[in-house]
């Protein structure tokens, strides 16, 4: 019974690992007083591009994963650009619009068809074990530690807290708010893509409706 209980706990944590990664990205946006509602769609499109690059373009799996992460970060940059340079009134509006655009692209790129059967290197983070512990759980722990150090031990991390606490005071104190917000939303997009990599490894499939509703789970 103890073994079965432990296995069930590990299964639950493994399934939650994707939302954990998304939530750590959204955390950065929330700390600045913003939000990112495009993370679920970003997860889907990023993982679909990785799948297409491997299956149809013959790209090296590692290079394909880097391409997916780059795409996720690019979507984050666009979210940050709309907020800082286009002066959208609140990231809720711009990221909700981005959610619909990105989800539509995820459906278009393969005609709404899923792509499956990936090399072991793609499945590593989502479907491998270290003893009895899924690699995804260990990976989440490592990323959480990095985020903690970033927020509490770096200048940019302190700027994130300052902007969320009082943006006007942060601006008067010399903090480059636009630069900090661009970093925040880029990292948020990157984390969404990372969640997509873990998910496609866990289920050995990429599909355009992946991540539906994940943005609300991440916020919660």
Per-residue confidence band for 1, with pLDDT thresholds at 50, 70 and 90 = low
Q: How confident is the model at residue 18 (pLDDT cuts 50, 70, 90)?
A: very high
Dihedral sign of CA atoms 96, 101, 104, 110 in order? negative
Dist CA 178 CA 155 (whole Å): 15
Tokens of residue 173, six digits: 């104190």
- So what's the pLDDT on residue 136? 94
Which two tokens mark 21? 């990664």
- 91 with 79: CB under 8 angstroms? yes
pTM (2 decimals)? 0.94
For residues 8 and 81, the model is more confident at: 81
Query: Could you tell me if 10 and 134 are in contact, meaning their C-beta atoms sit under 8 angstroms apart?
Result: yes
Looking at residue 152, its pLDDT comes to 96
Count of Cβ atoms closer than 10 Å to residue 56 Cβ: 11
pLDDT, mean of residues 64-74: 98
75 pLDDT more than 70: yes
- SS3 for 133? strand
Whole-angstrom CA distances from 114 to 45, 61, 177 are 12, 18, 40
pLDDT tens digits for 122-145? Answer: 999 988 888 888 999 999 999 999
Q: Mind listing the pLDDT tens digit for each residue in 98-121? A: 999 999 999 999 899 999 999 999
Give the three-class secondary structure for 6. helix
Per-residue pLDDT at 5: 82
Please provide the average confidence, as pLDDT, over all residues in the chain: 94
pLDDT in tens, 164-196: 999 999 999 999 999 999 999 999 999 999 999
With H, G, I as helix, E, B as strand and everything else as coil, classify residue 187: helix
Burial class (CB in 10 A: 0-12, 13-18, 19+), 97: middle
Q: In the structure encoding, which two tokens stand for residue 217, read together?
A: 């789970």
Cα(139)–Cα(175) distance, rounded to whole angstroms?
32
Q: Is the pLDDT of residue 61 over 90?
A: yes
CB 138 within 8 A of CB 20: no
Task: Report the range of poorest mean pLDDT among 26-30, 132-136, 150-154.
Answer: 132-136
């Amino acid at each position: 019974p103890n073994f079965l209980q432990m296995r069930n706990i590990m299964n639950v944590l493994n399934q939650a690992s994707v939302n954990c990664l998304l939530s750590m990205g959204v955390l950065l946006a929330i700390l600045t007083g913003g939000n990112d509602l495009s993370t679920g769609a970003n997860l889907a499109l990023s993982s679909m591009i990785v799948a297409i690059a491997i299956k149809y373009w013959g790209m090296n799996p590692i290079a394909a994963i880097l391409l997916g992460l780059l795409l996720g970060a690019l979507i984050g940059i666009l979210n940050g650009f709309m907020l800082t340079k286009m002066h959208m009134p609140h990231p809720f509006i711009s990221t909700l619009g981005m959610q619909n655009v990105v989800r539509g692209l995820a459906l278009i790129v393969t005609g709404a068809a899923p792509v499956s059967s990936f090399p072991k290197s793609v499945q590593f983070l989502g479907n491998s074990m270290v003893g009895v512990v899924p690699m995804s759980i260990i990976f989440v722990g490592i990323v959480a530690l990095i985020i903690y150090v970033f927020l509490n031990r770096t200048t940019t991390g302190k700027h994130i807290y300052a902007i969320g606490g009082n943006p006007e005071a942060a601006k008067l104190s010399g903090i480059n708010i636009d630069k900090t917000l661009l970093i925040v939303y880029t990292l948020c997009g990157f984390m969404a893509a990372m969640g997509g990599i873990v998910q496609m490894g866990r289920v050995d499939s990429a599909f355009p409706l992946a991540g539906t509703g994940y943005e609300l789970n991440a916020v919660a």
